[in-house]
Structure 1
Amino acid sequence: MGNSNSAHKISAQDKAILDMKNQRDKLHQYQKRITVITDREKEIAKECLKRGDTNKAKLALRRKKYQESLLAKTDGQLAQLEVLTSDVEFALVQKDVIFGLQQGTAVLKEIHREMGGIENVEKLLGENEEARAYQQEISELLANKMSNQDEDEVEDELEALEAELSSVKLPDAPATKIELTEREKAQLAKDRAQRRARERAAEQAAGPMLA
């Protein structure tokens, strides 16, 4: 009977693998749902640019980028956990796996909260008091959660959308792409960071007036 009972016990490794598979399934569910939302956020960014409202367009793209980065982060983390849980020396990395699963659960909860629903996405276009309060809340939230690389990629996407919507076509554009030097790249990143800091300061100053 002792052998029978031990056969039914779930090892720590089995439980970790099961938890990881559950997180992977949940992540796949979120990936499908969030695609609808991020597609709409990009459309909202275009609509805002057509209105001449660059700030709202950028906010929509920042929200989109943040959600995508959360999914990518969780996906990468789960891929790493798959390696750890299949390791023959599982006992040596058990604490790392458990900690990683705890982090994954926390991020999945954040993804669920961030997704909200399409009705929240539509508030990015709104002009009423409730919509402005929501926009301010999202802006403040993202200010502390996005990396400089994420912010730079948002700037690039915003510029690409502006070019896409622009009716002005430059004649005979050079076929070769001009590569920036490392110093020019550093200066561009610095200029962008300073501009973002000014924008956030202006948003914070405008916060009480929006309330």
Structure 2
Amino acid sequence: MLSYFFGGGSASKNKDAPKKAILDLREHITLLGKKEAHLQTQVTSQEQQARALLGKNNKTGAKNALKRKKTYESQLVKIQAQMDSLEQQLYSIESANLNLETMKAMKQGASAMKNIHKGMDIDKVDETMDEIREQVELGEEISDAISRPLHAGAEVDEDEIDEELAALAQESVKQEVVAPPQGLPSVPLGKVSTPHAATLPAGQEQNAEEEEDEEEDEDERALRELQAEMGL
């Protein structure tokens, strides 16, 4: 009752008006469709009657049947035109209602985004990101501090380690050069006798000297023969 006096129900009626119009149009189109089917049946029936009466040579009856057929056809054309108009109007209303619902959804989405961003601006976002970065850096510093050795003596000088490692490597190289290879016989330091200097028995030594003298005599003899041939 209060809505009747203060107009509270008008908004609800306006909201449901498109839906009601769509339902009414569909209902009326269905009714016209039934009327169209009935008229189509009458047109067919009157044509059949005209053919039957004409077959009986009843031209007057056949003529009247054709007149009724024309009347039904005229009504049928009007019904079909009305249905076309209503269907076009129904399509327009449905399209407009769809656009309206789409706009409502977009408006609600915009309102939701506005509420989400209400307490946010670019300055606050930058400030928050800076705070996050500071906390991350602080966490890394804390982690480094916790991981640092507790005793100062535990710290190692990397340069000193490198120098000691180089000294060990050099000492190892010197030892490899000085030390003889293992598993090989040592070389004697004294004078090594050659095979030619080997001691022979007395008889064999004399024979060897005689053979050497004979070889020298043969060489000299061959040389003199060669000089004679050449006229020297």
Q: What range is the shorter-chain TM-score in?
A: 0.3 to 0.5
TM-score by length of 2: 0.31
TM-score by length of 1: 0.33
If asked which structure has higher relative contact order (CA below 8 Å, sep 6+), I would say 1
